[in-house]
Amino acid sequence: MGDESLRSAARPEGEGGLQYHLRVRRGDVARYVLLPGDPERTDLIARLWDEARLVAHHREYRTWTGFYKGTSISVTSTGIGSPSTAIAVEELLRVGAETFIRVGTMGGIREDLRPGTLVIGSAAVRMEGTSGQYAPRGFPAAASYDVVAALVEAAEALGVRYEVGVVASTDSFYLGQGRPGYGGYMTPEASEVIPLLRSAGVLGFEMEASALFTLSQLYGARAGCVCAVVANRVSGEFVVNAGVEDAARVASEAVAILAGWDREREKRGKKWFYPSLACRRT
Ligand SMILES: O=P(O)(O)O[C@H]1O[C@H](CO)[C@@H](O)[C@H]1O
Ligand SMILES: O=c1cc[nH]c(=O)[nH]1
């Protein structure tokens, strides 16, 4: 996409429906798409698959598409934060994506969430602004129950340490997550945010899940997330990349599991997943 003029400012697409930010078209992306924040993590994820090809890389959006255990799968990085994540979801839906699994890192706020533990998100606290530009205040940022179940199934199969629960998605990594800003700058809200969310049983902070869950809910797409706890805000530990490879493996495995459930469901003409559908028929 050079300096060409696009057909419409309201729907900026290039030739053949080339998406303005992601630079992907229909056919470039699978129905199941993993969404890490970090573009470099897309390479780590793609290396786990049976085959993968680099499809696009523009700005923070790096996309690979390939096969994992017989299932067509893609990975697109969202960059940091909900605004860029919403752009990725909007443009991936336009080119045929249907199911999203965020593969992230997060900061745990419960003592037992040691670095390397995985958190499978059931829902997210909407502490970012993007979802507020899409849906009313009380609208739930909820993960899809069958995606959550597939992630739990995958975590059990891979024998990793994991928790399931609510995460909080913030717009800022520093003040928004109770960290002092430059020069020690703090606000009453920032000093309160960790105790407040701990009392509510929230497992920790990250910066994209609530936008992903809100938009997927609005658009009838499916979404889940698995985040590697790299920091624990109670103990003060911070282990860079702890559990990231586990999260990548669990997410890829969950796609293979979910695709199997989807095939079985479609064979039975069922609209919704139900647990006994997943049992091997004797
Ligand atoms: O590792 P990723 O997926 O980027 O996720 C977490 O890391 C970033 C902050 O360090 C934010 O994007 C947060 O959501
Ligand atoms: O503490 C953390 C670690 C990763 N990502 C976050 O948003 N917060």
Annotated catalytic residue, options 60, 91, 128, 206: 91
Residue 214 CA to residue 139 CA, distance in Å, equals 8
pTM of the predicted model as reported, rounded to 2 decimal places? 0.98
Rounded CA gap, 223 and 209, in Å?
9
End-to-end CA distance of the chain: 54
Residue 173 beta carbon below 6 angstroms from any ligand 2 atom? yes
CB 85 within 8 A of CB 211: yes
Catalytic residue check, 264: no
Q: How far is the CA of 76 from the centre of ligand 2 (A)?
A: 19
pLDDT, position 148: 99
Q: Is 177 in the pocket of ligand 2 (CB under 6 A)?
A: yes
- What does the domain layout of the chain look like in residue ranges? 17-271
Q: Are 212 and 102 in contact (CB under 8 A)?
A: yes
Q: Which ligand is nearest to the CA of 244?
A: 1
User: What number is the ipTM of this complex?
Assistant: 0.99
Q: What is the mean pLDDT of the chain?
A: 97
CATH class of 17-271: alpha beta
Structure tokens at 63: 């996309």
Question: Percentage of the chain surpassing pLDDT 70?
Answer: 99
Integer-rounded Cα radius of gyration of the chain: 19
Q: How far apart are CA 271 and CA 269, in angstroms?
A: 7
Residue 6 pLDDT greater than 60, yes or no: yes
